[in-house]
């Protein structure tokens, strides 16, 4: 009997993933990502030097080599559009069969996976890269930011996923974390994390809804909050609906206007990306004004476009209406009415769109909760959960399966084993039987989705239970068991029960990654280990130098008058040289400049010490001094 892949990504503890390292919360978003940490129940997003918490979920593989993430990656969109990937989350766990869902979204060469359940790859930066690999780069950058901010190794994380993410996408997310060297403590659903951030803050009780409209995904969840228990009652969503759709609608309109005005554009990636960037800017402008305009330049030919808020709302009205339809379905699933809701939490940058706020408020008859930054709220909740999981908190998160899980039966009909909104972890089983005399094997096809026909659902895994002893049709009792763990990941097993001989096959749906892919990526990780290590040392050198400068500043403020003008000038010059070196990439230069500054400020430090001693001694009588010395 062949055992199909049995491995739990993340179950094998990573080397060094010890108790001493810090655990962070990560919101790995479609458009932006955020890393946060919680201490003593207070979460905070980690910022870069310029105070920004958001890391654009953009990865670039520039011609010059290396990998860029975030704003740095965005900066090369104009010059090297083909080497930049955005919104990769939309492709997490997607196979060839899902390509229609993203067709036209990404101007890359997409390579379908080799098998039915293999993930697609993008040809970028000279080779095929999987979404897992690209997401791992974002996670690595977040981890580096956290380590720089906290000045400690970060090896464990709670990572959030849309509640509606299917099994393939969850597995892919876990794999990406592994590639980035992070042990995933738990995958938490984004809306649940958002509720956690709000609930702990306010000690709220009652029925709450989370309306999460991000760049590429929509989720609506209903939770009951009661004495530290967060019980998800029902959830629903759409993995291909979000603010990116708004941008695309605006971009298409502008490109249409150019065509109408007789501009013969060749619409290539550069044009699309320029139009999308302008569209996003115009959309954001319309959040607090009624009219916006922009200049779009394609191949050196400029055009001017205006957009009113009314026009924009007419363009995106259908998308917003769809989110409300989904929300009403979720309410009905839980047997609740919109008026039962105590409050609705808004999550995701797209909830800044006034039309969205207005429609949500109309639906529940109350203004939505917006006091926590909708871009950060998910990461803050994840950080709280990371702290609770490592430090032991009293909060309890009870989540559910977002989609029904089932098996293919005769005629391509789905038999649901785990209905949607089942609390997890869950273990459910159903008995099946043979339909032919002497049948010795049974094909088992695991699917996910709400539709009745297999063809309309997502195929997760296929395996065969073989070695069934010869029996008449209908005599065998094949028990198929589904186990969904607390991360929402599925394991399926099957056994024949009448013979007493347990035939058992375990399947981990392994779309996501083939073994070879995973091996390749881990190997790549080793190739890049030197680069990573250098980056780490550089970061450490910068942190150390900054600490020195801060100490010097404090000393100068207090005792600056101990220095002559020339001495002061020399110190200021050395300090400026160090600051320049810190902006560069050379660790040696930083260290050399730091040493030079330290050498110059040494006499200053000695004088301060002398003075400190004099001050301590002044005012003491001779007798006191002698007593002291005698002590």
Partner 1 sequence: MDHFARLGLPAALDLDAATLDRAYFALQRQWHPDRFVSKPPAERARASGEAASVNEAYRTLKDPLSRAFYMAERAGVELPGDGKTIDDPDLLMEAMEAREALQDAGTPEAVDKLAAEARQDVQKALAGLASLFLANDRAAIRKALLRLRYLDKFAEEARARRMNIERSTA
Binding site for partner 1 (CB under 8 A): 11, 19, 185-186, 226-227, 229, 231, 321, 325, 328-329, 332, 388-390, 392, 396-398, 422-428, 483, 485-486
Give Cα separations from 348 to 31, 209, 355, 432 (angstroms).
Answer: 10, 14, 14, 44
3-state helix vs strand vs coil in the chain, percent to 5 = 45, 25, 30
Which tokens in the block code for residue 331?
Answer: 């309410």
End-to-end CA distance of the chain: 82
Distance CA 535, CA 147 (A): 12
Residue 313 Cβ, how far from partner 1 at the closest point, in Å?
Answer: 15
Handedness of CA 253, 254, 257, 263 (dihedral sign): negative
- Closest approach of Cβ 221 to partner 1, in Å? 18
The DSSP secondary-structure symbol of 120 reads: P
Q: Between residues 328 and 366, which has the closer beta carbon with respect to partner 1?
A: 328
- Least Å from the CB of residue 396 to partner 1: 6
Q: Is the distance from CB of 481 to CB of 493 less than 8 angstroms?
A: yes
Residue 187 · residue 160 · CB < 8 Å = yes
Give the nearest distance from C-beta 225 to partner 1 in angstroms. Answer: 12
Find the radius of gyration of the CA atoms of the chain: 29
Minimal distance, residue 305 CB to partner 1, in Å: 30
Q: Strand pairing partners for 335? A: none
Side-chain-facing half-sphere of 549: CA atoms under 13 Å: 21
Count Cβ atoms below 10 Å from residue 505 Cβ, excluding itself: 20
Q: How many CB atoms within 10 Å of residue 313?
A: 17
Q: What is the DSSP letter of 184?
A: E
Nearest approach in angstroms of CB 158 to partner 1 is: 10
Q: CB of 484: closest distance to partner 1 in angstroms?
A: 8
Smaller CB distance to partner 1: residue 87 or 192? 192
Q: What are phi and psi of 300, to 5 degrees?
A: 80, -5
Q: Interior CA angle at 216 toward 332 and 305, to 5°?
A: 120
Q: Could you give phi then psi for residue 219, rounded to 5 degrees?
A: -135, 145
424 or 507, CB closer to partner 1?
424
Contact status, residue 600 vs residue 556, Cβ threshold 8 Å:
no
CB closer to partner 1, 304 vs 435:
435
Residue positions annotated with a catalytic role: 27, 89, 190, 212
> CB–CB of 279/247 below 8 Å?
yes
* SS3 call for 217: coil
- Residue closer to partner 1, measured from CB, 17 or 150: 17
Q: How many CA within 13 A on the CB side of residue 482? A: 30
Q: For partner 1, which is the closer residue by CB, 185 or 286?
A: 185
Are the beta carbons of 197 and 535 closer than 8 angstroms? no
Instruction: Say which residues have a Cβ less than 8 Å from residue 504's Cβ, sequence separation at least 6.
Output: 493, 494, 495
- 301 vs 396 by CB, closer to partner 1: 396
Nearer to partner 1, 81 or 488 (CB): 488
- Find the shortest distance in angstroms from Cβ 550 to partner 1: 36
């Amino acid at each position: 009997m062949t055992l199909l892949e049995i491995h739990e990504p993340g179950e094998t503890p990573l080397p060094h993933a010890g108790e001493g390292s810090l655990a962070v919360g990560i919101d790995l978003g479609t458009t932006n990502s955020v890393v946060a940490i919680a201490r003593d129940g207070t979460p905070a997003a980690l910022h870069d030097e310029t105070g920004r918490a958001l890391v654009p979920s953009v990865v670039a593989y520039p011609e010059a080599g290396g990998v860029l993430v975030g704003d740095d990656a965005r900066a090369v969109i104009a010059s090297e559009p083909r080497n930049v990937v955005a919104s990769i989350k939309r492709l997490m766990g997607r196979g060839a069969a899902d390509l229609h869902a993203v067709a036209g979204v990404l101007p890359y060469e997409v390579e379908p996976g080799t098998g039915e359940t293999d993930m697609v790859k993008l040809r970028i930066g000279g080779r095929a890269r999987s979404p897992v690999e690209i997401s791992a780069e974002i996670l690595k950058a977040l981890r580096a930011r956290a380590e720089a901010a906290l000045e400690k190794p970060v090896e464990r994380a709670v990572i959030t996923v849309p509640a509606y993410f299917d099994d393939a996408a969850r597995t892919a997310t876990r794999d990406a974390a592994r590639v980035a060297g992070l042990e995933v403590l738990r995958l938490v659903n984004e809306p649940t994390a958002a509720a956690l951030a709000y609930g702990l803050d306010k000690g709220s009780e009652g029925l709450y809804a989370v309306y999460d409209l991000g760049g590429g995904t929509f989720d609506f969840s209903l939770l009951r909050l009661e004495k530290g228990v967060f019980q998800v009652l029902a959830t629903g969503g759409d993995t291909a609906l979000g603010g990116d759709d708004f941008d695309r609608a605006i971009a298409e309109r502008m490109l249409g206007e150019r065509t109408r005005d007789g501009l013969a554009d060749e619409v290539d990636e550069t044009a699309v990306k320029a139009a999308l960037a302008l569209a996003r800017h115009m959309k954001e402008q319309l959040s607090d004004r009624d009219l916006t305009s922009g200049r779009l330049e394609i191949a050196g030919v400029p055009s001017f476009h205006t957009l009113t808020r009314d026009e924009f709302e007419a363009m995106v009205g259908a998308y917003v209406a769809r989110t409300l339809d989904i929300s009403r379905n979720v309410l009905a699933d839980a047997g609740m009415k919109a008026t039962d809701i105590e409050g609705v939490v808004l999550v995701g940058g797209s909830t800044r769109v006034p039309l969205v706020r207005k429609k949500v408020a109309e639906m529940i008859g109350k203004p939505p909760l917006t006091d926590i930054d909708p871009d950060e709220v998910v990461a803050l909740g994840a950080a709280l959960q990371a702290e609770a999981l490592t430090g032991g908190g009293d909060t309890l998160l009870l989540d559910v399966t977002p989609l029904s899980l089932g098996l293919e039966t005769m005629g391509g009909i789905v038999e649901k084993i785990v209905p949607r909104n089942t609390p997890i972890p869950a273990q459910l089983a159903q008995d099946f039987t043979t339909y032919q005399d002497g049948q010795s094997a049974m094909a088992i096809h695991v699917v996910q989705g709400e539709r009745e026909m297999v063809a309309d659902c997502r195929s997760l895994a296929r395996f065969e239970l073989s070695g069934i002893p010869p029996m008449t049709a209908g005599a065998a009792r094949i028990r198929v068991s589904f186990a969904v763990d607390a991360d929402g990941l599925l394991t399926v097993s099957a056994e024949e029960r009448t013979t007493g001989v347990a035939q058992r096959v375990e399947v981990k749906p392994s779309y996501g990654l083939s073994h070879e892919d995973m091996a390749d990526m881990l190997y790549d990780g080793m190739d890049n280990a030197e680069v990573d290590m250098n980056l780490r040392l550089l970061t450490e050198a910068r942190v150390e130098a900054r600490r020195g400068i801060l100490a010097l500043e404090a000393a100068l403020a207090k005792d600056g008058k101990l220095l002559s003008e020339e001495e002061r000038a020399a110190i200021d010059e050395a300090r400026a040289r160090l600051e320049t070196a810190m902006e560069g990439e050379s660790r040696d230069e930083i260290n050399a400049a730091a040493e030079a500054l330290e050498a110059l400020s040494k006499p200053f430090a000695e004088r301060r010490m002398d003075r400190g001693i004099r001050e301590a001694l002044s005012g003491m009588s001779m007798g006191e001094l002698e007593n002291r010395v005698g002590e």
